[in-house]
Structure 1
Amino acid sequence: MANVTESRVHEARFTSFGTTFMGPLLSFFAQNLVKNVPEKAPLYFLAREGYWLQQAYKHYLCGADIQRESHYLLVSRAFLFKILLSDSRSYAYSLKSSFSGAFYDLIRTRFLLSDSQIKQIFGEEITQELVYLPEDRKKIIDTLNQHKDRIDDVITPSKQAYLSYLDTLGVIQQDTLHLVDLGYSGTIQSLLGILLDKDTHGHYLISSNPGEHVIDNHNATMQGYLKENVKIGDGYLPLDRSMFLESLLTAPFGQFRGIRLNTFDPTQFDFYYGRKVASQRYFHELEQVMIGTLDYCKHSAKHGITFETEELEMLLGSYLSKANIVPRGVTHIFDIDDDVTGNGTVNALQFFGLA
């Protein structure tokens, strides 16, 4: 009996944390989506963060008794880098971050190609050459262009399967694609616009690059609801320590890495994911946190509770700057993987000295 009581107290701690910390933030985000997105436009929630962002949105709609269409869309930067590897329009994004090491490691970690695929495209000798970004950017692009046909042979099955998957969600039919993510620079939005040759409108909690942009002859609008025109390192705490939010706003699976048409039923898809971090291994505990968050989103919509940006910034500032304010029993779920930039798995609380 004591163990049952202790377990319930533990769960209540998780739920309470979700209510007080994430509840107001996601309620604010959902409220702004309702106000700013055209009523008949479907919303597509992106990547791992989109999993809970969509749930919060749906609970807010339920509380407000509003009907709107939304979908959770599997996507990741690295996967888009991969299926656009032969498209020179994508290099402004995929070759932007710094790198030093073997060409093989660049292609394997940033573009998700397997060992056999890398050897099939580039052969043995070239893969061991050392490359540095941004210094060797032109050299790398030249190499990719020289092997374009082989790259296409390797990536086309995944690319075609992914386009079929997007078609099942109604993405292909949209004139302007309305996308939702936590933030910040709009890389996934830009890459989807390139892949689909479509206008896009990105809705973010924080947008580093807001406004209207032209990307390959298509309009890309980026809009931030909590803050705009801030970049990492500018001193805006919710962005500088965004890893804190990302570690909680995660789907139950690892990074989206691939898709194939099912061998036995070509109308179905097989999805492939990377390794799980702590918040995914202990997803049942993260769900307890989010129960409090989602209930609060529904409650705030039903009772017309709203928040100003200054109130949320003050709330976030407390959690993101003061040590030990996060309940001790929750700290182990704050892991996040950062493979695209080569940092591996990082615990957000430990990284910022908050635990």
Structure 2
Amino acid sequence: MKYKALRELGYIMLGPVIGPFAISCAKKVIEDGVSTAFISREGFHLRRLVRHCLSGFGHQATAPLHHVAASRAFLFKLTLGKEQLLPLALSHPFEGSVADLLEGRFALSPSDMATIGPTPRVRVSLPRDAELVAGIINNITAPIHAEIEGKREIYREYIMTFLGSRKNLLCVDVGFAGTIQRLLSDIYNIKTQGYYMFFSGSDAIKADGFWSSDAKHGAGDALVDLSLVLEAVLTAPTGQLRDVRRDDSGKIDFLYGPLTRVQDEFHITYALVDGVKDFIDAAACLGDQNIDQIIDVRKNFLIQLRHNRSREAESLRCLLEVDDCISGNGLIRPFQFLPGLR
């Protein structure tokens, strides 16, 4: 796929959705002055876009902007051995064996599974069997609780480098339920706030959604249904964070899962995001009222991405994947979950 065509695709179809969020986030960073954590894989490009906005505004952030290595699976792993934290990990839907749950949702390695030993041969359904599964997991993972505690401390050191003397952490990503933000708050007892493109709404955390603060998949909002597409486009060039350890020099080392196809061809996401930057630059020449009108008209272009028959759009639909191992689904293609296109 040619760079110019991909960049144009990013400008026309992604810019009107991602660009306004990046602009709004940059303004929030300036106003709030808190440390900002662009979390998970999509935080990689979102941080680039917000820094681009700040440069266009002629501002510098008054607090650091960090791309933070994080994943739900890894943070769920850190809840093992902490009975009060486990219910959140078991509240998400899952169908399969206990072994599959531990390897997928809790990112346990083959070495971890060997230490645990045989797991009950029972098929479980979450959240229905959450209480039963909690008892099983607390019991069979006991042999690795001390090791997990060590990983919690390594990751605490990593997170505290972002906080420093500041008391609050702004978490930014495409979002939905704010699970990573909540886990960071609960595991490390730190004050957080979230700013997401889409937020499903929860009293458990303090967060806002730019496009929606009561987002629900399948409720008729096409942008919400396309949130997985945005996650796939904005992904970092790494797989899912699976583990942390210290290397021989004492430095923190991050271990990642396999790459998706679009991560393996990462130049594609760079070209698309360069197109979003072009949209941001064009928006900077307009007043707030005019940009609002452009957003209202042109955000529908992203919705048309699923129907666009250009060679670049067709190739992009085939390449985009996201990792849904925590639900037992492995790698999924976001467009398979949209009505009208399979």
Length-normalised TM-score, structure 2: 0.88
For the 8 Å contact 2:167–2:190, the answer to whether it is kept is yes
Amino acid at match of 1:338: D
Say yes or no: does 1:337 pair with 2:329.
Answer: no
Q: 1:148 to 1:258 in 2, by over 3 A?
A: closer
Deviations 1:135-173 (A, max 9, x none): 3211111223335643422312322221122223x2254
Q: Aligned residue for 1:143?
A: 136
Call closer, same or farther: CA 1:303–1:59 in 2, change over 3 Å.
farther
Distance change (3 Å), C-alpha of 1:280 and 1:301: same
Deviation at 1:251, TM superposition (A): 0.5
| Structure 1 position 18, deviation (Å) | 1.1
Cα distance in 2 for residues equivalent to 1:75 and 1:250: 12
Cα distance between partner residues in 2 of 1:328 and 1:252:
24
AA of the residue aligned to 1:132:
S
Residue 231 of structure 2 is aligned to residue 246 of structure 1? yes
Question: Structure 1: which 5+ runs fail to align?
Answer: 1-6
Q: Does 1:52 align with 2:37?
A: no
Q: 1:257: how far off?
A: 1.0
Three-state SS of the structure 2 residue aligned to 1:84 is: coil
The whole-number CA distance in structure 2 between the counterparts of 1:323 and 1:166 is: 38
> CA contact under 8 A between 1:99 and 1:132: conserved in structure 2?
yes
Cα displacement string for residues 103-158 of structure 1 (whole angstroms, at most 9, x for unaligned residues): 1111111101123312423x32x343333323321111122333564342231232
- 2:175 is matched with which residue? 183
Q: Which of 83, 88, 94 matches 1:93?
A: 88
1:245-269 alpha-carbon deviations (Å, 9 max, x no partner) = 1110100111111111121x21x22
Q: Choose the corresponding residue for 1:153, options 119, 136, 146.
A: 146
1:167 equivalent to 2:138? Answer no
State the identity %.
29
AA of the residue aligned to 1:72: H
Which residue of the other structure, out of 60, 63, 66, is the alignment partner of 1:71? 66
Alpha-carbon distance in structure 1 between the residues aligned to 2:320 and 2:298: 18
SS at match of 1:111: coil
What's the counterpart of residue 83 of structure 1? Answer: 78
- How far residue 324 of structure 1 moved from its aligned partner, in angstroms, is 3.6
Misfit runs of 4+, over 6 Å: none
Q: Partner residue of 1:103?
A: 98
Residues 209 and 71 (structure 1 numbering): CA distance in 2 closer, same or farther, change over 3 Å? Answer: same
Aligned to 1:307: 291
1:198 aligns with 2:183: no
- In the TM superposition, what is the alpha-carbon distance from 1:41 to its structure 2 partner? 1.1
2:68 maps to a residue whose letter is L
TM-score by length of 1: 0.85
State which drifts further: 296-305 or 10-19.
296-305
SS at match of 1:48: coil
Residues 303, 319 of structure 1: alpha-carbon distance in 2 compared, 3 angstrom cutoff: closer
Q: Is the contact made by 1:59 and 1:295 (CA closer than 8 Å) also made in structure 2?
A: no
**Could you tell me which of 220, 236, 258 is aligned with 2:243?**
258
CA distance in 1, matches of 2:226, 2:142: 41
Matched with 1:222 is 207
- 1:175 is aligned with what amino acid? K
Equivalent position SS for 2:197:
strand
Amino acid at match of 1:244: V
SS of the equivalent of 1:250 reads coil
CA contact (8 A) 1:179 1:202 kept: yes
Structure 2 CA distance, aligned partners of 1:245 and 1:318?
A: 13
